[in-house]
Structure 1
Amino acid sequence: MKKLIFLLLAFLAACTSTETKKATSGSAVIINETVVASAMERIKTSQPGVDQTLLEKGIRHAASLWREEDGNPSDFIEFVKANYISDPVRRKEIFTKISNYMESVNGHFNDITLDLKKNLDEAAGEIDQIDQMYGNYSVGSHLSDDFFSNKIAFAIALNFPYYPLAEKEKLGPGWSREEWAMARLGDLFVSRVPANLNQALNTALGNCDMYIAEYNICMGKLRNEEGKQLFPDDMVLLSHWNLRDELKANYANKENGIEKQEMIATVMERIINQDIPEVVINDPDYEWYPFSNKVMQNGKAIEAAREPDTRYDLIVKTFRAMKDIDPYNPEMNTAMMRKFSWEMEISQEE
């Protein structure tokens, strides 16, 4: 099994989609060291006393995000000259304004997203295809593109640059609350991922959520090999966290906890191996014997086909959607690195 998983991952890593191949040119950096040095000199001349360390970090970060469609190198230098803020008081004022703007944008986007996913996340009746369409829609997928287009993203990147996790761990203990807040603002624009790729990933993840949301096991219909029912008639558990929680709850069951746990573990193995009978998923009309994988209906054994490889098809599609984003994250060019270093901020070697 381990060898099979390794071969699968190796195959997936070798599969580069058309979008990923196109990204090489679309994500190319056009601002070289000469341009960076020139931009720095312009600021040093026009704003004496500037914090040179912060200046260089801001210019380099903005330069890493600048693309051909944003303008030529001369345009970049002029943008830096017009938008760099060296005065600490003025910088704090701008920081406060940006924070308020982003709070409004993100807050309203979150409110809309909750509304669009309501029928998927709550027990609100039957889930229709239109519910899934709205639930998979990302209202913020174009925000990054828009902010790069109107140069807001560059103004933020220039004045509030990104600090990688290693730098946060090194410098963070000496930062004030305000310095931490400004560093957090720098986390907003770390990469430049096209809107269509953000939406593709959101759709892939949404399809995964939808798959799991409808993956219920009718525990009252499970039987051991003697035909004994171990769980209440009305117990329906979602895969996988409801199954996990029920397994944990039975550690305290001295009567038949181990037997129940063994049955739950077998159910989970059937799901993982994709040999669970498709008819027993989210359907109370069948009795299922997980240990032998036998299925009964109306007291008679029936032939029941296994679930198709839907679970792993969704995993592969999610993997590919994440891999398409890799080239647009030069500092964090794998989903694993982005998850640990960016989202969770946990130091971890890949």
Structure 2
Amino acid sequence: MKTFFYLFCLCTFLWTLPCISPAQSPINNDIIEKVQTELEKQHGQSETERIRKGVSQLARNWRSGDGTEQEFADFCLRYFMSGNTLHSNFRRIIDNLTYMEGMLYKISTLFHESDYYTDTPKLEADDYLQRILPGSDHYSAKFAHYVQLNFPYYTFAEKQRHCREWTREKWAMVCLGDSYAFRHDRFSSNPFTEKANHFKRYMEHYFFSIDRITDKKGKYLYTDEIALHCHRGLRDQIKQEYTAPGGTSRQELLYAIAENATTGNIPVLFLKDTTTRWNPSAGKLYKMENGKQKEIKNYETENLHRYAGLLACMKEKMFTDQSYTPQTTTIQRTFDKSSVSLEKTETLIRNFLADPLLSEIGRIIEKRLGRKLRPYDIWYSGFQEQSAFSAGYLDSLTHSRYPDPQTFRKDLPNLLIKMGIHPQDAHFIGSHISVRPVVSGGYSSQPSLPGDTALLTTMFGKQGLDYKAFRVSMHELGHCICGVFCTNNIDYFRLAGVPCDAITEAFAELFAYKNAEALDLHPFSPEEKQHLLNLATIWYLLEMGGQTLTEIETWKWLYAHPEATAQELKEAVLHISSTIWNTYFSKIFHIRDQHILSIYNHYITGDLYLYNYFLGNVIMYQLHKTSVSSDLTEELKKACREGCTLTDLWMEKAVSAPVSTESLMQDALKAIEYFNTSSRK
């Protein structure tokens, strides 16, 4: 999952900005030109680019409340820096910002512990403590102006043009400039924020009591009390059922729930009243009275709730577009920030999904399952090593080994060693990770200060860590490894991190795929293991490619129809998801008009993030291929020293190639041949 620290930094930065309405700068072009000319005389022609960009940028962000045109000119002439003055002040700025931002993160996390973690009780004092969190207005203090003038913003295209000539210090300056490039409205002035936040909280706690749901014949397939989150709980349970007797019937039930969620047919009363029972295939709801079921007629469904929430989440982001000068869209900014273009991403995905090899892999899965593919088989887990063991056995292992977060944290070095990390590095990483329990799923954050600890969160039940949560933990552990490597031995902490979230997702999936190794389970030969990893990666990319295109096309549609209602958005999403399914998936699954490609939780909360999972797994496989012939630990550490420059530069250092599915699909031919032999399923 995407790292929590990045989200916190964004929110903290925007929180420090003043509440303003988008406004025209009061500085006219004559003043800008006059100031630029005077600064060029003072500092020389070698500073022309910085002067031109810095003065123009500050002028765009200057407001009448900041001062007169003369005060603007005086500020520029007084505070523009060059030479040694620039270098020494820059180092002071980034050193102090590192500690200020890092400490603010630590304080905010401490004050919100009862909201984030299940091992901290909620107390009355918490609400009041959160109201006194420290902050400052970077604009009224003129600090934002100072940074904008001296460390101008560069577009993605400009970064690509200059990337190979810039020094490491210049890259760190550019990274600082990125943080102060635009003057935004505060979140509190955004009319969609409250509704969006309410919907996100709703989706975070969106669980189904599976023991109260029947199959189409009215039979209860789950008798133990179990609550599954939509989508991740349903998805992970479907994966688990591949190794369980009679699992197909339960998978059909779980898929029926997912389909009802996407179409808005979940009964509202079922989510609120534990005495209700539901048959999703028949669309019938019952009330238990005196031990008997009484059907409830004409019950209320969620209907548009899912899409009204999605609309609010997307509108919240789109509302901020107007505060950018020049104005850009959320789509443009998202992909520019990742330094992988939208066009390249879409082309990569569509070419991958159109590859005929996917149908051949589908036939291998049908052979292994002994049945035709069903839509939920986009989550087929049989290519992963854990598929050799029953879910009950895996749960027994993790329950017995990790009853609580403390025990799990202490064993992290051993887990890392089993997954191929050098013992010395494993102990170092393990000592720089803290573990906390959460309500559902999991997330992580990289160290916020030099030498500090990363955060790993996951779910601990009454019996301890079950296997599904363990695999989530290995994913989050990959994020933490990336974070620890990125924040140690980095020359400029401002660059600590990776150019795009897809790279940290690559780390996460690299170690998630190694979860069986971490449990000392080695059911396959090295050759078979390699082929399984190839097919597992491809099948995951099939799912995420469809989910990603659905998300991108939904954003494009709303920008083309900005006045759309929730009903219109719902109709558009169902059309988009089924069209993408019919275009790429129907030839593999031989089923049409499915909506499962809009089920993802990140999708429905408007994150525009799913492309990182697709690109991340492409990068993961490239990292894996490189590590086969070299040292995994050293290769990862070396790549992480690149920091937040450009994705292409990071990939050159890591795997000597751009983001590409070429080696993945070449290896697929060998894997398909291997599993098509008569002696192997």
Amino acid at match of 1:67: R
1:37-116 matched pairs, under 5 angstroms = 37-48=33-44, 50-87=46-83, 89-116=84-111
Give the counterpart letter for 1:275 in structure 2. Answer: N
SS of 1:162 mapped into structure 2: coil
- Residue number in structure 2 paired with 1:5: none
Distance across 1 between alignment mates of 2:88 and 2:40: 22
TM-score (norm 1): 0.79
Q: Distance in 1 between matches of 2:91 and 2:246?
A: 60
Alpha carbons of 1:253 and 1:173: their partners in 2 closer, same or farther (altered >3 Å)? farther
| Selected match of 1:286 from 271, 276, 282 | 276
- The reply on whether 1:233 has 2:224 as its aligned counterpart is yes
Q: Structure 2 CA distance, aligned partners of 1:160 and 1:190?
A: 9
Question: In the alignment, which residue of structure 2 is the partner of 1:175?
Answer: 166
1:269 aligns with 2:263: no
SS in 2 for 1:148: coil
Q: Cα–Cα, structure 1 residues 295 and 320, in superposed 2: closer, same or farther, change >3 Å?
A: same
Asked if residue 35 in structure 1 is aligned to residue 25 in structure 2, the reply is: no
Give the whole-Å Cα distance in 1 for the aligned partners of 2:75 and 2:128.
Answer: 40
Pairwise CA RMSD: 3.3
**167 and 204 in structure 1: CA distance in 2 versus 1, 3 angstrom threshold:** farther
Shift of 1:139: 5.9
- Alpha-carbon contact 2:193-2:312 (below 8 Å) kept: no
CA distance 1:199–1:114, change in 2 (3 Å): farther
Tell me the secondary structure at the aligned position of residue 301 of structure 1.
Answer: strand
From 256, 260, 268, the counterpart of 2:250: 260
Q: CA deviation at 1:180?
A: 1.6
Paired residue for 2:113, among 113, 118, 125? 118
Q: 1:348 to 1:171 in 2, by over 3 A?
A: same
CA distance in structure 2 between the aligned counterparts of 1:184 and 1:280, rounded to whole angstroms: 49
CA displacement at 1:239 relative to structure 2: 1.9
Counterpart of 1:346 in structure 2 is 340
Query: Which secondary structure does the structure 2 equivalent of 1:319 belong to?
Result: helix
Deviation of 1:35 after TM superposition, in Å, equals: 1.8
Per the alignment, in what secondary structure is the counterpart of residue 179 of structure 2? coil
Query: Which secondary structure does the structure 1 equivalent of 2:285 belong to?
Result: strand
Q: Which of 182, 185, 188 is the aligned partner of 1:194?
A: 185
Residues 132 and 210 in structure 1, CA contact (< 8 A), matched pair in contact too: no
Contact 1:221/1:229, CA 8 A, preserved across alignment: yes
* Conserved 8 A contact 2:152-2:174: yes
CA distance in 2, matches of 1:177, 1:282: 56
**Alpha-carbon distance between aligned partners in 2 of 1:306 and 1:82, rounded to the nearest angstrom:** 63
Instruction: Show CA shifts across 1:113-159 (max 9, x none).
Output: 32454334333599899989998x8968x75xx11122100111111
Query: CA 1:339 to 1:172, structure 2 compared with 1: closer, same or farther past 3 Å?
Result: same
Q: Equivalent residue of 1:302, what SS?
A: strand
Percent identity between matched residues is 22
Superposed, 1:293-308 pairs within 5 Å as 293-296=283-286, 297=288, 298-303=291-296, 304-307=299-302
Please give the alpha-carbon distance, in whole angstroms, between the structure 1 residues aligned to 2:209 and 2:125. Answer: 27
CA contact (8 A) 2:190 2:319 kept: no
Contact 2:55 2:149 in 1 (8 A): yes
| Stretches of structure 2 lacking an aligned partner (at least 5 in a row) | 1-19, 344-555, 557-681
User: Alpha-carbon deviation of 1:103?
Assistant: 1.9
Residues 277 and 285 of structure 2 are in contact (CA less than 8 Å); yes or no, is this contact kept in structure 1? yes
Instruction: Determine if contact 2:321/2:329 at 8 Å carries over to the other structure.
Output: yes
Moved more, 33-42 or 299-308: 299-308
SS in 2 for 1:225: coil
Measured after TM superposition, the shift of residue 52 of structure 1 is 1.0
Cα distance in 2 for residues equivalent to 1:224 and 1:126: 38
CA distance in 1, matches of 2:200, 2:119: 16
Separation (CA, whole Å) in 1 of partners of 2:281 and 2:122: 32
